[in-house]
Amino acid sequence: MPDAALTISDLIQQRLDDLTRAERQLAHSILENYPASGLGPLTALAKDANVSVPTVARMVQKLGFKGYPEFQAELREELKAKVKNPIAKHDTWTGGAPSGHILNRFTDAVIDNIRHTLGQIEPATFDDACAMIAETDRHLYIVGGRLTHTLAEYLFLHMQVIRSQITHIQSTSNAWPHYLLDVKEGDVFVIFDVRRYENNTLKLAEMAHAKGARIILFTDQWRSPVHQLAQISFSSRIVVPSAWDSVATTLLLVETMISSVQNLNWSDTKSRMEELEEMFDQTKLFRKFT
């Protein structure tokens, strides 16, 4: 039986490198709902993790237990100790750290931001925005600023797979006026503008608006002046214990939107994805396994 001071969860993570592919797959499955899944029968665990029964038996022995029953006994001991111990109330995010550690404080703040932000979003409005972005017969412009161009780029990269006719404009570059030449009435702009609102971005929005484009704005709780021109605005809370703001909540919205738009355009997206996969295969840019 392995060291008592270490939890099985720790032990598994620590020895993750010594494990084989199937064993690692199993390990992740155990950690997925820890410790419940490890307390069931070996057979069920194997099925759950999509590995064979012997793989489970081998792994627990590799971890230092005499057999699966001993492994389970240890898990139960751990559980017993945890319930007895009032500190295990799981009010902190990362187990070992004091609640005052920056990891816990920052995460608290972000979760709080998410709660506030989501609470103020009308699902119908969100769906409308997704539908607008999914209109493949209009050109889609994605605009970011000094920091937010990273979000814009992230959205752009995914939209590239989902649809054609997209342009990523960096408002910080001075080349952007050229892009506006071709804007048609009804085209869609997704604009990111958060605190330290940028003059360039506002100008760009004004010109786009004047040309009859529709604007979807991602901003913060104090709202960029662009919001007066925008058809739809999403305001994320961005306050965290830091000298800077957090765009984590905004990213959450962007990712959700990607997922939603992808579903709206699924037939298109699917074939585009397959084509992309094939090109990746040919260029050998990515590794297929491990």
Partner DNA sequence: ATAATTTTGAAAAATTAATATCAGCAAGAT
Partner DNA sequence: ATCTTGCTGATATTAATTTTTCAAAATTAT
Residues that bind DNA (CB under 7 A): 20-23, 41-44, 51-55, 57-58, 60, 66-69, 72, 289
Q: How far is the CB of 184 from its own copies (least distance, A)?
A: 28
Is the Cβ of residue 69 or residue 241 nearer to DNA in the bound state? 69
Q: Could you give the CA distance from residue 120 to residue 55 in angstroms, rounded to a whole number?
A: 48
On whether the CB atoms of residues 247 and 220 are closer than 8 A, the answer is no
From the list DNA, its own copies, none, which binds 240 (C-beta under 5 to 8 Å, kind-based)?
its own copies
Sites for its own copies among residues 74-133 (CB under 8 A) = 76-77, 79-80, 83-84, 86-88, 90, 93-97, 101-103, 106-107, 110-111, 114-116, 118-124, 126
Nearest C-alpha neighbor of 260 from the set 129, 111, 120, 121: 129
Residue 54 touches which of DNA, its own copies, none (Cβ within 5-8 Å per kind): DNA
* Residue 36 binds to its own copies (criterion: CB under 8 A): yes
Q: Which of 11, 15, 34, 268 binds its own copies (CB under 8 A)?
A: 34
**Cα–Cα dist 200/207, whole Å:** 11
Q: What is the DSSP string of 231-285?
A: SEEEEE----SSSS---HHHHHHHHHHHHHHHHHTHHHHHHHHHHHHHHHHHHT-
Strand bridging mode 166-170 / 140-144: parallel
For the bound state, the minimum distance from the C-beta of residue 152 to its own copies, rounded and expressed in Å, comes to 9
Contact 158, 258 (CB under 8 A): yes
- Binder among 29, 55, 72, 219 for its own copies (CB under 8 A): 72
167 binds its own copies (CB under 8 A): no
Q: Which of residues 194-223 bind its own copies (CB under 8 A)?
A: 196-200, 202, 221-223
Q: Which is nearer to its own copies, 54 or 241 (CB)?
A: 241
Tell me which residues in 49-68 interact with its own copies (CB under 8 A): none
Query: Could you say which of DNA, its own copies, none residue 58 binds, taking C-beta under 5 to 8 angstroms by partner kind?
Result: DNA
**Closest to 233 measured CA to CA, from 185, 285, 193, 287:** 193
Q: Give dist(CA 225, CA 174) in Å, integer.
A: 21
**13 in contact with its own copies (CB under 8 A):** yes
Q: Does 265 bind its own copies (CB under 8 A)?
A: no
The residue among 111, 110, 87 whose CA lies nearest residue 99 is 87
- Given its own copies, DNA, none, residue 67, with its beta carbon under 5 to 8 Å by kind, binds DNA
CA-based nearest residue to 163, from 139, 180, 186: 139
- Choosing from 19, 31, 180, 207, the residue that interacts with its own copies (CB under 8 A) is 31
Instruction: Tell me which residue has tokens 């404009």.
Output: 169
